């Protein structure tokens, strides 16, 4: 009797897992993923909203990462200080978009007016398609150079096992590889 109950529970768990993974593949767009459907029903946050890097205050939970130029993030301590790139701010913004959209499971969110040098992105986890929201702001750092701020945070969960910081580092490394040599 107990064995039959355990077998039934295991089969049920497998069916639910397969159904969720299948649904995650079907609803992949922001606002239409499995998480968003569940969040809507349970009234959970569906997005953390855009970031004001000057006023940004870090979360209490270890589920975010911040890369910021000196003096921009006045109320938050970044893990890394952003490098200076030998390109214009507009060129850097274009390169950031190329890097982000070359990542699997990444999409750019539509932006309101006046955000030509900033961008909002969502990157989904591979298995369960949980969303992480990433804000990027590019700014001038001289006549022919620029820098950027990246704030990556998990929408789901308390901790992120370093995923957000590793993503930001990966993006910085990719940008470094495609920058012109000085």
Return the structure tokens found at 170. Answer: 């990966």
What pLDDT, on a 0 to 100 scale, did the predictor assign at position 83?
95
pLDDT at residue 36, rounded to an integer: 61
DSSP code, position 49: -
Q: Three-class SS of residue 129? A: coil
Instruction: Determine the pLDDT at residue 65.
Output: 94
What is the pLDDT at residue 61?
A: 83
Quick one: pLDDT at residue 24? 53
Bridge partners (DSSP) of residue 123 are 106, 132
Evaluate whether 141 touches 45 at the Cβ level (below 8 Å). Answer: no
As a whole number of angstroms, the distance between CA 102 and CA 79 comes to 24
Q: Which residue has the tokens 């606002």?
A: 31
- The pTM (predicted TM-score) of the whole model is 0.76
Residues 6+ apart with CB under 8 A from 49: none
Long-range contacts of 173-179, Cβ-Cβ distance < 8 Å, separation of 24 or more: 174/99, 174/102, 175/85, 175/92, 175/95, 175/96, 175/99, 176/83, 178/95, 178/98, 178/99, 179/85, 179/86, 179/87, 179/95
**Predicted local confidence at residue 157, as pLDDT:** 75
Which residues of the chain, if any, have pLDDT below 70?
18-40, 42-48, 112-114, 181-182
Other CB atoms within 10 A of residue 119 CB: 19
Nearest to 118 by CA among 142, 143, 92: 92
pLDDT of residue 45: 57
Structure tokens at 176: 């470094």
DSSP code of 47?
-
Domains and CATH numbers, the chain: 1-46 (no CATH), 47-178 (3.30.310.80)
Determine contact, residues 155/130, Cβ cutoff 8 Å.
Answer: yes
């Amino acid at each position: 009797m107990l064995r039959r109950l355990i077998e039934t529970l295991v089969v049920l768990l497998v069916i639910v897992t397969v159904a969720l993974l299948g649904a995650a593949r079907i609803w992949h767009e922001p606002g239409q993923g499995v998480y968003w459907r569940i969040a809507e029903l349970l009234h959970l946050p569906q997005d953390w909203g855009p970031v004001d890097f000057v006023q940004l205050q870090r979360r209490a939970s270890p589920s975010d990462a911040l890369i910021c130029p000196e003096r921009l993030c006045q109320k938050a301590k970044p893990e890394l200080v952003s490098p200076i790139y030998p390109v214009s701010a507009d060129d850097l913004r274009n390169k950031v978009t190329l890097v982000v959209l070359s990542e699997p499971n990444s999409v750019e969110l539509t932006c309101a007016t006046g955000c030509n040098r900033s961008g909002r992105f969502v990157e989904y986890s591979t298995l369960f398609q949980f969303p992480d929201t990433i804000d990027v702001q590019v700014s001038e750092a001289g006549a022919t150079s620029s820098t950027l701020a990246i704030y990556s945070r998990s929408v789901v969960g308390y901790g992120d096992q370093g995923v957000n910081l590793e993503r930001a580092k990966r993006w910085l490394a990719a940008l470094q590889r495609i920058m012109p040599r000085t």
